[in-house]
């Protein structure tokens, strides 16, 4: 489980991260990362979106538990005040724990990279 201060609960927080954050997708997940001022929140926070397209309730909860376990150590590396939303894709239902971890960390590294000027 994530600590209460590390969880996203309000739909407005999810919407802000999805609309204003940087989006990076990999094979099984899409990561939305919004880096904000540290005054907004004392710690980095995370939320998860696992739709019915992933599978039935048992499969969705299994995917959510795996993602939550994988995100917990990564939150300490993010700056305070950042918001992370992890959206599971349908391929996450059949993916192994290692594959989910690889995709999640690769997406998070890409989301933290500065954007190239056009």
Side-chain half-sphere exposure of 104, counting CA atoms within 13 A? 27
- List pLDDT tens digits, range 43-73: 889 999 999 999 999 999 999 999 999 999 9
3-state secondary structure of 81: coil
Dig out the tokens for 95 from the structure.
């993916």
Which pTM value belongs to this model? 0.89
Spatial distance between the Cα atoms of 61 and 52, rounded to a whole number of angstroms: 11
């Amino acid at each position: 489980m994530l600590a209460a201060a590390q969880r996203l609960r309000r739909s407005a927080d999810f919407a802000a991260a999805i609309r204003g954050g940087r989006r990076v997708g990999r094979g099984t997940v899409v990561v939305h990362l919004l880096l904000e001022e540290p005054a907004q929140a004392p710690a980095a926070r995370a939320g998860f979106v696992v739709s019915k397209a992933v599978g039935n309730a048992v499969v969705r909860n299994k995917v959510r538990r795996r993602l939550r376990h994988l995100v917990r150590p990564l939150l300490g590396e993010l700056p305070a005040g950042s918001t992370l939303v992890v959206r599971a894709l349908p391929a996450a239902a059949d993916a192994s724990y290692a594959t989910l971890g690889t995709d999640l960390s690769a997406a998070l590294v890409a989301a933290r990279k500065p954007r190239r000027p056009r």
